[in-house]
């Protein structure tokens, strides 16, 4: 069972992500306010961080950069979730410190697979595009 920090400002999305993770045997902890995310990560010592990119106050990119600069968290894998995946996003997300990202609306199967791959140590940047026609 992995400890997974989920940072998402949308209450419905955070519930969905946390329910999916719990159903797969993980221990998720949700944070709605990105300003609290770094402290929550330090307290939880997660095996994985999942963060939205478009967050108020502290963006997902800024949060990833802060995690990468933190001595105790710098090696924790990060999965970014974004509704806006455009040209150049993979480079910006990689540069900020994510190993993978999933586009919204998420594919439940691909979300779970990406989580398991990151927990297994497959830390290359993997983009999962949004499903077409959904």
pLDDT mean across residues, the chain? 89
Spatial contact of 85 and 130, defined as CB atoms under 8 Å apart: yes
pLDDT in tens, 32-65: 999 999 999 999 999 999 999 999 999 999 999 9
pLDDT of residue 82: 87
pLDDT of residue 97: 93
pLDDT in tens, 90-133: 788 889 999 998 888 889 999 999 999 999 985 544 444 444 44
pLDDT of residue 11: 95
pLDDT in tens, 63-78: 999 999 999 999 999 9
pLDDT of residue 133: 45
CA 8 to chain centre: 9
Name the pTM for this structure: 0.88
pLDDT of residue 122: 57
Integer angstrom CA distances of residue 36 from 7, 43, 63, 71? 9, 11, 10, 18
Between 69 and 83, name the one with better pLDDT: 69
pLDDT of residue 134 exceeding 50: no
**What domains, with CATH codes, occur in the chain?**
3-128 (3.40.50.2300)
Spatial contact of 131 and 37, defined as CB atoms under 8 Å apart: no
pLDDT of residue 132: 46
């Amino acid at each position: 069972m992995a400890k997974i920090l989920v940072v998402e400002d949308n209450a419905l999305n955070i519930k969905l992500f946390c329910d999916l993770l719990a159903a797969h045997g993980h221990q998720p902890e949700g944070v709605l306010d990105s300003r609290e995310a770094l402290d929550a990560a330090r307290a939880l010592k997660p095996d994985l961080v999942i963060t939205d990119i478009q967050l108020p106050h502290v963006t997902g990119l800024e949060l990833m950069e802060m995690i990468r600069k933190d001595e105790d968290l710098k090696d924790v894998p990060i999965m970014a979730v974004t509704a806006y995946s455009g040209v150049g996003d993979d480079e910006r997300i990689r540069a900020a410190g994510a190993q993978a990202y999933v586009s919204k609306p998420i594919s439940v199967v691909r979300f779970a697979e990406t989580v398991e791959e990151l927990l297994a140590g497959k830390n290359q940047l993997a983009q999962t595009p949004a499903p077409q026609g959904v």
